[in-house]
Each structure stands twice: as C-alpha cells, then as structure tokens.
Amino acid sequence: MSTTVVYASGESGRIRLEGGPTYLDAARNNGSITTTGPATTSYPGQNFAAGDYYCYQSFLLWDTSAVGTDSVSNVDFDVDGETDASDVDYVVEGYAFTWSGGGLTDADARDSDAGIPALGSIISSYDTTGGWTTTAGYNQTMGALSGFNAAINGSGNTEVVLISSHHRTETAPTGSEYVIFQCTGNTNDARLTITHAPSVTYTYAKPDSDISASGWATAPLWSKVDDPPDTPDATVVTGTAS
C-alpha cells in the first residue's frame, strides 16, 4: 500500500459567467465570460450583487502519473479555505472533466442547460451548511466520494471541475453563495492524498490427477486437498498472488 500526495498545478484556475440582470444568461453562458488560469485562488459558487448575476466554476489539475497501474482505494481532497461567503448554503460539486488541452479557455465553461448534465456522476461533494474553515492550512475537506478513485489517471493528469449545486439546478442566488480556497501557485495549493496498491492477481487451477494419491504442487506451493473417492479431480484450488 502506498500514499501519493499531489498538488494542483498547470493551468488550474477559474471561470466567471456573468448574466447582467438575467440569471439564466449567467447560468447558461449567454452573457459575458472571464477566464483566469492559472489562478492562485478559486471560488466555485454563485453571486448576486449590484443587480448582476454571476456563476463561478473552478478547474483543477493534478499530475497523478506516480500512481501508475496501481488500484486506487481512497482519495482525500483537501484545500486551504480562505473566505466563507456562503450566506446562502449550497453544495460544492466535483466532476471529472478533461479541460486542459491548450490551457483553460472560455470553451471549458460548463453551462447549466447542456454542459453540466454532460459531466456525469458527482465525484466530490461538500455542503457549506457544514461551515467553511478559513484558518491557515489544509483544514477544509471537499468530500471526495468513491467515484474519485476511478477518476484518478495513473498515466497522466487528473482533472476536475467544481460547480455549485444551485448552478446545476438553475436556482438563482439572492446574495453571496461562494467560498474561496487556495488554488495553484499559492502557499497551500489544492491537494489530493491518494492511497493505492498494485492490483491483486487471482490464479485458478485444477489438478490433472487425484492429488490425495500423487500430490500436486506448483509455484507457489499449493496445500494438498483430498478429492472425494468417488469424484477424483473435482477440486478447484484458488490461490492469491500479490
């Protein structure tokens, strides 16, 4: 069993969708857009301020090539929270999403009518009703789910996007609905702690004679198993090699 710790890098950053006085223009990316990558901080969520609506998305990339062909059994996803502006609570949802080709661009933004539904299953989930830690250090979990294990790319980069559950459901904000964390190029970049190990190989074998009479061995040495006298050679021996 091994543990690999990686930190957000590359063009990890954020996208802001602005809809002016019409919320759906922001949610469906029909207004203006601002892309920042790399970004030292990021803030998935939504906001309504001075008569304008905004939707914010975070894009994170980790080099997970050290995992190789190992099987991943657990992922911890932690950040250094800086600001809690979740006056209205929501869920920060994470999705596997390959966005990095050529760096973060406007085209990577996920609109609520097609882009978000196409992302598939949620692989991390944090409800801000649980608070948002702003003390220094990796004190804020992002709630990695079991699906995050399968999302780890052992031969290259693992990439995700974080969005607000209210953006997904097109629920317009009435005020501040976002949290800020350190993204990349900062003191405590977004971190993954990955537990992994070589995949287990199962070997199945069947003797070609009654092993109670002649014995049977291979590498590694198998324990002898007696066949019933009336059904020789019926035994199937299962061994595990690691």
Domain containing 131 equals 2-197
Do both 123 and 180 map to the same domain?
Answer: yes
State the chain's mean pLDDT as an integer. 90
DSSP summary character for residue 151: H
Q: Are residue 71 and residue 174 in the same domain, yes or no?
A: yes
| pLDDT of 214 above 80 | no
Residues 114 and 149 in one domain: yes
Is the domain of 189 the same as that of 216? no
Give the contacts of 79 (CB within 8 A, at least 6 positions apart): 138, 140, 142, 181, 182, 188, 190, 191
pLDDT in tens, 16-75: 999 999 999 999 999 999 999 999 999 999 999 999 999 999 999 999 999 999 999 999
Beta-carbon count within 10 A of 232 CB: 15
Domain shared by 224 and 156, yes or no:
no
In this structure, the answer to whether residues 234 and 181 fall within a common structural domain is: no
pTM of the model: 0.83
- Predicted confidence at residue 236, as pLDDT, reads 52
Same-domain check for residues 180 and 206: no
Give yes or no: residues 88 and 11 share one domain: yes
Q: Are residues 76 and 170 in the same domain?
A: yes
Residue 233 CA, distance from chain mean position: 48
Say if residue 31 is in the same domain as residue 102. Answer: yes
Instruction: Count how many Cα atoms sit within 13 Å of the Cα of residue 200 in the half-sphere of its side chain.
Output: 6
Token pair in block for residue 218: 């291979």
Q: What is the pLDDT of residue 238?
A: 52
Q: What is the mean pLDDT of residues 82-91?
A: 98
Please determine, for residue 210, whether its predicted confidence score (pLDDT) is greater than 70.
no
Domain C-terminal end among 197, 212, 227: 197
Collapsed DSSP state (helix, strand, coil) of residue 168: helix
**DSSP helix/strand/coil, 213:** helix
Termini Cα distance of the chain: 11
Domain match, 236 and 155 both: no
The total number of structural domains in the chain stands at: 2
229 and 216 share one domain:
yes
At 224 the pLDDT is 46
Residue with tokens 């299953």: 121
For 159, residues 6+ apart whose C-beta sits below 8 A from its C-beta are 59, 60, 61, 62, 96, 97, 98, 99, 100, 153
Instruction: List the beta bridge partners of residue 176.
Output: 47
CA distance 68 to 76: 18
Cα 4 to Cα 1, 68, 199: the distances in Å are 10, 11, 16
CB 117 within 8 A of CB 75: no
**pLDDT value at 219 more than 50:** no
124-175 pLDDT, tens digit per residue, is: 999 999 999 999 999 999 999 999 999 999 999 999 999 999 999 999 999 9
Report which of 16, 13, 17, 23 is spatially closest to residue 175, judged by C-alpha positions. 23
